[in-house]
């Protein structure tokens, strides 16, 4: 039987697996994250901590907080997906809003040792079945939010 404690552990492990996948894409697959990708990692990290605490103290309030972190993360993922699909504008800091090119030397524009390393939030780096990593993260967050909410509504002993 899935007790509140077990559901909280499961949800925390789900977020841990999402973080491990993100790090694998980054360090093994060579896909550097954009700023919005990094934003999506923080709620997963919080959910891992909440799951660990919930393994010891399976309080409904903790489970509700875990659910809120995943719903918030789903919102970030939806926002990121919309930026990738040009449904709306994203932050100018990571969507090609343009920097101050006037202060650069023209020879720096073609120099690979200058600048670089900026990953644009409006570019899809990887997709599967037509969905980007941000989209898949949003789906996973909604599933994890559901697990957290089920945990929160379960009696402590059940």
Identify the structural domains of the chain with CATH numbers, from first to last: 4-91+119-153 (1.20.1550.10)
pLDDT in tens, 131-150: 888 899 999 999 999 999 99
Report the C-alpha gap between 58 and 6 in whole angstroms.
Answer: 9
Checking if the pLDDT of 91 tops 90, the result is no
Checking if the pLDDT of 100 tops 50, the result is no
Report the C-alpha gap between 144 and 74 in whole angstroms.
Answer: 10
Average pLDDT of the residues of the chain: 84
Report the C-alpha gap between 49 and 119 in whole angstroms.
Answer: 28
* pTM given for the model: 0.80
Given phi > 0 = left and psi -120 to 50 = alpha, else beta, which region is 86?
A: left
Checking if the pLDDT of 81 tops 80, the result is yes
Checking if the pLDDT of 76 tops 60, the result is yes
Where do runs of H (alpha helix) occur along the chain?
4-27, 35-56, 60-84, 133-153
């Amino acid at each position: 039987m899935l007790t509140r404690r077990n559901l909280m552990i499961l949800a925390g492990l789900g977020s841990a697996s999402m973080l491990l996948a993100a790090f694998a894409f980054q360090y093994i697959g060579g896909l550097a994250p954009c700023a919005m990708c990094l934003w999506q990692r923080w709620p997963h990290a919080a959910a891992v901590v909440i799951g660990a605490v919930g393994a010891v103290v399976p309080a409904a309030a903790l489970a509700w907080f875990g659910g809120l972190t995943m719903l918030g993360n789903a919102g970030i993922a939806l926002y990121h997906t919309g930026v990738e699909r040009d449904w709306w504008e994203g932050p100018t800091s990571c969507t090609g809003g343009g920097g101050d090119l006037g202060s650069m030397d023209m020879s720096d524009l073609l120099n690979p040792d200058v600048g670089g390393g900026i990953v644009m939030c409006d570019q899809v780096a990887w997709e599967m079945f037509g969905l980007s990593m941000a989209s898949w993260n949003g789906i996973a967050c909604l599933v994890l939010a559901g697990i957290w909410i089920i945990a929160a509504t379960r009696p402590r002993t059940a």
